[in-house]
Structure 1
């Protein structure tokens, strides 16, 4: 695992407990490695210490590499990963957005980078404390009509043995766009409005209306690129949000409240860019992009 944040800690803990004989470890360097070795993490009130391996101490390539950093940490994660990646290494990215798989495939042509995403979790990290009520699930696989292959089947078997909730959609590219649609709506809106999950499920929720308007712009862009998203996918997203802890926070809301720069560029920013390229207006996402960046400036986020 590279990136022992909220998602990374939650998933690595489940894998380590489900596969006690596996060689499970965190890849980190410098001060972060020192801190993880010294302090560990606390997951739902339970202190956990994972083995930490520094890049200079890599003994062999990994069978499975999971990357769960923020989007801005992808380039650094690639450099950390190099000593651990070899022919046939499976790479699973839990990074938000729709960009990380292509970057990883370019960096590691010898590896097998699966399309992947995670949804349905309300995990939060504050300091070294990680907590969640809903675990969510990982989805991974290939594009539509791709035949079943050994890599997907091996990961399916491993996660089943580890008791990690997961699915293998027939069209993983479409599933990634569904998650992107959901994130584009809820993450920037929550960060701008300081809105927790419950704000999007209240009767007559204005926060929900902002979220839906941003998501419908994503649907138009997806359709222009032959990705079949529609109103039924919004309803699926609303059902997913309704299962989350009402006081839970999106990752962007956590960043904003902590005074950190958010990932608005990979959500609203990407939608605005694609809209310009495709000639599709995206006024809601333009407003969210500038609104979130304005709040970052006002709060002095860094």
Structure 2
């Protein structure tokens, strides 16, 4: 199994970041950005830029008949996943590998239900400090993609194929044996950093230094840690410390996606983060007051948009 063709659906921060990186290393047409006709027209008219460079993307619409891709990368927001799954239907056959860089803990199951879990690797994106404003993306740290099998197999045919391809393309990555725990760990990070920076309308610099914002972030993460024990995927303070080290290396001027959404007055993934935490808290009888505050403050911001 060798990866020669890649389709990316979702041209947000991650889609642009990895799309631009791959487009400079793959033959024209071997990398395809899947988008509806209206979006393609907008991208072609306004152009898309990454760190000041114009992106040279090859676009395909969902209706086009194409050769199936060896790898499909989902980089949409959670609310766009259903449409994205439908959009790539012509890009998938029995040998296609599916990789989701979405936030949260459910996208792999949703994609697997549609196309088969045997095609799907679990994945999280971490360590990037990308900021997208309109059609321009800037970043200092590219971060990496962590991926692996749900069952912990580190040398499956799919894992080897993706690892070999990423080596060839110079894409930073890590093969993780316990990917479901990694998924929960990244969810814990997002619950803390995405929501806290959004509420404080600040950036990574605000949570890299001691103070109320950093305390709020860590407190929100600890609530997820308590819930993870109830769900049978026990996270620890060691997992929190790991993410604090990762955050310390990001550009202080960078900011997570939810903070960018609030700044642009877009509706955020708050239901995916604190919304999920509150539901799990009620399910297990665990108090989650910090996430309750974050949820209410973000909802209050969003209610002012109209």
Smaller-chain TM-score range? over 0.9
CA contact 2:9–2:74 (8 Å) conserved in 1: yes
Partner-residue secondary structure (3-state), 2:304: helix
> What is the deviation of 1:20?
3.7
TM-score w.r.t. length of structure 1: 0.95
Q: Verify: 1:167 aligned to 2:174, yes or no.
A: yes
Q: Verify: 1:109 aligned to 2:109, yes or no.
A: no
What aligned pairs does 1:52-71 form with structure 2 within 5 A after superposition? 52-71=59-78
CA contact 1:140–1:167 (8 Å) conserved in 2: yes
> What is the deviation of 1:147?
5.6
Q: Which moved more, 1:251-260 or 1:240-249?
A: 240-249
CA contact 2:29–2:58 (8 Å) conserved in 1: no
> What is the deviation of 1:111?
6.0
Q: Which residue of structure 2 aligns with residue 257 of structure 1?
A: 263
In structure 2, distance between residues paired with 1:157 and 1:20:
17
Mind listing any 5+ residue stretches in structure 2 that lack a counterpart?
Answer: 1-7
Q: Which residue of structure 2 aligns with residue 267 of structure 1?
A: 273
> What is the deviation of 1:84?
1.2
> What is the deviation of 1:228?
2.9
Q: Which residue of structure 2 aligns with residue 194 of structure 1?
A: 201
> What is the deviation of 1:295?
1.0
Q: Which residue of structure 1 aligns with residue 230 of structure 2?
A: 224
In structure 2, distance between residues paired with 1:62 and 1:102:
20
Partner-residue secondary structure (3-state), 2:31: coil
CA contact 1:123–1:132 (8 Å) conserved in 2: yes
In structure 2, distance between residues paired with 1:144 and 1:212:
30
CA contact 1:88–1:111 (8 Å) conserved in 2: no
In structure 2, distance between residues paired with 1:192 and 1:216:
18
* Residue in structure 1 matching 2:39, options 32, 36, 49: 32
CA contact 2:278–2:288 (8 Å) conserved in 1: yes
* Residue in structure 2 matching 1:125, options 124, 128, 132: 132
* Residue in structure 2 matching 1:42, options 49, 74, 82: 49
Partner-residue secondary structure (3-state), 1:175: helix
Query: In the comparison of the two structures, how many residue pairs are matched?
Result: 299
The 3 A distance-change label for structure 1 pair 147 and 179 is closer
Q: Which residue of structure 1 aligns with residue 103 of structure 2?
A: 96
In structure 2, distance between residues paired with 1:208 and 1:147:
35
In structure 2, distance between residues paired with 1:162 and 1:89:
18
In structure 1, distance between residues paired with 2:117 and 2:103:
23
TM-score w.r.t. length of structure 2: 0.94
In structure 2, distance between residues paired with 1:293 and 1:110:
34
Q: Which residue of structure 2 aligns with residue 286 of structure 1?
A: 292
Partner-residue secondary structure (3-state), 2:24: helix
Q: Which moved more, 1:19-28 or 1:84-93?
A: 19-28
Please give the per-residue CA displacement for 1:97-155, whole angstroms capped at 9, x wherever unaligned.
11111100011128611100101000111111111011101000013543621011100
Q: Which residue of structure 1 aligns with residue 16 of structure 2?
A: 9
Mind listing any 5+ residue stretches in structure 1 that lack a counterpart?
Answer: none
Q: Which residue of structure 2 aligns with residue 140 of structure 1?
A: 147
